[in-house]
Structure 1
Amino acid sequence: MRYEPAPVYNAPARLFHWLTALLLLIQFVLAWTMPDVHRDTQPVGLIAWHLGIGVVIVLLVFVRLLWRSIHAVPPEPGSLPPALRALARYTHWLLYLLLIAVPLMGWANASSRDWPITLFAAIPMPPLSPAGSPIGHALGDWHRVFAWVLLALVGLHVGAALFHHFVLRDETLARMLPAHRRQAASER
C-alpha cells in the first residue's frame, strides 16, 4: 500500500496539543488526590502544584490559540456529513473555552482565599478576585462542575479520534501524530 501523507498539523501545534493533554491529565490526577479544600486549607503540596499547573494550562492555551490564528489548520481528511463536521468544530471551540475558563475559575477562587498564585513556583501572578470575594468563592463550586464537563468533552474528543481511526479509517488522528506514527497508522 502506497502511503499518501495526510495534511498534518505542524510540529508546534502538535506539541501544544499533546502538552495540553499531558498537563490536563496531571491536573485531574492532582485534583483527585489532593486534600479537600476547606476554609483553613493552605495552598501547599498537591494544592500548590494544582494551582501552578492551572496557570500553565491557561497560558499554554492562549499561546496555542495565538499560534492557530496565524497558522492554517490542515484540511480534514475524508468527507464527514455537515452535521458531524459542525459538531466537531463546536466541540473543539468548547474545549478551548473550558481549558481557559476552568483554570480561571479556580484561580479566582484561590484569589478569594488570598492564596498566592505563581507561575513555575517563582513568578507571582495577579489575583483574579479580591480576598474574601463571595463571587470568587462561588467560582470554586463552578470550577468543580465545569471540570467534570471538561473531562466529559475530553472523553468525547478521544472517542471521536478513535472512531475516526478505527471505524471511519480516515487520517483524522494521524494529523496530530509524529510522522513515523502517521505512517504506521496509515498502514493498518
Structure 2
Amino acid sequence: MTDRLQYGTTAKVFHWLIVALLLVQYPIGWLMPDLHRNTKPGAPMIFHISFGITILLLIVLRFVWRLTHPVAPERSLPPWQRLSSEAVHWLLYVLVLATTVTGWLFASFRGWAVSFFYLLPMPMLSSGNDAAGKTIDGLHQASEWALLVVIGIHVAAALAHLFIYRDRIMQRMLPG
C-alpha cells in the first residue's frame, strides 16, 4: 500500500461531514433542557443521541479509511509540526470516540428507550444505574470540553498554515 500525498474525496467527505455534524451536535447538547432524576428523553435528546451515533459511525469509518488509505506526512513541515499534527489527529479520534460512547452509555445507564431519529430503536449498552450514569455523565462532559479544545487547536493550526505560513498544507483537506 503506497502512501498518497493528498487526501482523496472519501477522506474529505468523512472529514467535512463530521465537522458539519459536530457544528450541529454541540448547540443541541448545550441548548437542550437540564436533565433531572426522572427526565425522559424529549426531541432534543433524541436528536442529540441520533447525531452522536451518526458521528460515532462516521468516525469509525473514517478511522478505518485512514488506516487503509494512508496519506504521507507533508515533507515540508518541520519534524515538530509533523509530530504534533499526528498527535492532534489521533487525539481527535480518541476524543470523538470517547465523547460519543460516553453519551451512549449515559443514555443507557439512565434506562432510556431511545430511537435513531425516531426511525429505529437504539440498542442500549447497559441497564439502568443512576450512580454509574452520573459518573459517565461527568466523563461525557469532560470529553466534550476536551474535544472542543483539541478542535480549537486543530483549527488554529490549519488557519496558521493558511494565513501565516501560506504553505498550502490546508489545501490537502479542502474540498475540490
Q: Distance in 2 between matches of 1:117 and 1:60?
A: 20
Q: Distance in 2 between matches of 1:133 and 1:36?
A: 16
Q: CA RMSD in A?
A: 1.7
Q: 2:131 maps to what in 1? A: 134
Q: 2:39 maps to what in 1? A: 41
Q: 2:66 maps to what in 1? A: 68
TM-score norm. by structure 1 comes to 0.86
Residue 118 in 1 paired to residue 143 in 2? no
Q: Distance in 2 between matches of 1:18 and 1:74?
A: 20
Matched length: 173
Q: CA contact under 8 A between 2:108 and 2:128: conserved in structure 1? A: yes
Q: 1:170 maps to what in 2? A: 167
Q: CA contact under 8 A between 1:109 and 1:139: conserved in structure 2? A: yes
Q: Distance in 1 between matches of 2:126 and 2:69?
A: 34
Q: 1:159 maps to what in 2? A: 156
TM-score norm. by structure 2 comes to 0.91
Letter in 1 for 2:36: H
Shift of 1:85: 1.5
Q: CA contact under 8 A between 1:13 and 1:68: conserved in structure 2? A: yes
Shift of 1:45: 1.5
Letter in 1 for 2:142: V
Moved more, 36-45 or 118-127: 118-127
Q: Secondary structure, in 3 states, of the residue corresponding to 1:167?
A: helix
Alpha-carbon deviations, 1:111-134, whole Å to 9, x = none? Answer: 111112433432223212221252
Aligned ranges for residues 9-48 of structure 1 at < 5 Å? 9-48=7-46
Q: Secondary structure, in 3 states, of the residue corresponding to 1:171?
A: coil
Alpha-carbon deviations, 1:62-89, whole Å to 9, x = none? Answer: 01111111112144152x2222221111
Query: Which runs of no fewer than 5 residues in structure 1 stay unpaired?
Result: 1-5, 180-188
Letter in 1 for 2:50: G
Q: CA contact under 8 A between 1:9 and 1:74: conserved in structure 2? A: no
Q: 1:183 maps to what in 2? A: none
**% identity of equivalent residues:** 42
Q: 1:184 maps to what in 2? A: none
Query: Which runs of no fewer than 5 residues in structure 2 stay unpaired?
Result: none
Q: Distance in 2 between matches of 1:104 and 1:156?
A: 23
Which structure has the bigger radius of gyration?
1
Residue 101 in 1 paired to residue 94 in 2? no
Q: Distance in 2 between matches of 1:176 and 1:121?
A: 34
